Amino acid sequence: MRAFSAVVTGLGIALLSAATIPAASAAETVRVRGTVESVDGAKLTVKTREGNSTAIKLNDNWKVTGVAKASLNDIKPGDFVGIASLPKSRGGDGALEVLIFPAGMKGTGEGSYPWDLKPNSTMTNATVTNAVKDVDGRNITVTFHGKEKTISVADNTTVVTFAPAAQADLKPGTTVFVPSQKADDGTLSTGNVVAGTNGVVPPM
């Protein structure tokens, strides 16, 4: 368990960088989503959701984190969550997915930022203050940096948390989310890979 805590702490640093990097330097961070084509030594090749094959250098001591299925009922006041959402036509935001952070990652990337899961989507990493049951799901109120935001979460919204995983889980076809750094020459590198395990895929 201590080893897993170290992994998610490292992942937290990667996600924090991905979420809070200044707009002027946005090109330095690339979030790669797709499925594993191959792992060859220190190189991970991913077939991205856009259909391209993308090579990512795996840094020394790189780690893999899995995701485990959770539910709306698991979300309690005081939890720290990451919610990707889209504006709704009638106002407010509707969740695309919810990540319940382990306690050791509380505060990771706190705030509300543009996200690239879908066009015009936002990622809000914040502390839950209320989760009121609605006709279809819940209205979750969160706070970050003294601000408050309410996001509606439908019953069919994917809810996950992080779980232990190993490098051996990166098999061809495995769905991954890879927060990567882009060098001046265009090459990508990472120290952390989020992998789908046990039928649960990274929704972020």
pTM of the model: 0.86
The predicted structure's pLDDT at residue 118? 95
In whole numbers, what is the pLDDT of the chain averaged over residues?
88
What percent of the chain is modeled with pLDDT above 70?
87
Q: What is the SS3 assignment for 159-193? A: EEEEEECCHHHCCCCCEEEEEEEECCCCCEEEEEE
Q: What are the tens digits of pLDDT across the range 47-97?
A: 999 999 999 999 999 999 999 999 999 999 999 999 999 999 888 899 999
* Local structure of 6: helix, strand or coil: helix
The predicted structure's pLDDT at residue 196? 95
**Terminus-to-terminus CA distance in the chain, angstroms?**
24
Phi, psi of 44 (to 5 degrees): -105, 125
What average pLDDT does this structure show over 129-139?
87
**Bridge partners for 98 per DSSP:** 83, 159
Q: How confident is the model at residue 11 (pLDDT cuts 50, 70, 90)?
A: low
What torsion do the CA atoms of 125, 130, 133, 136 make, to the nearest 10 degrees?
A: -30
Among 2, 161, 153, 186, smallest CA distance to 79 is for 161
Q: How confident is the model at residue 8 (pLDDT cuts 50, 70, 90)?
A: low
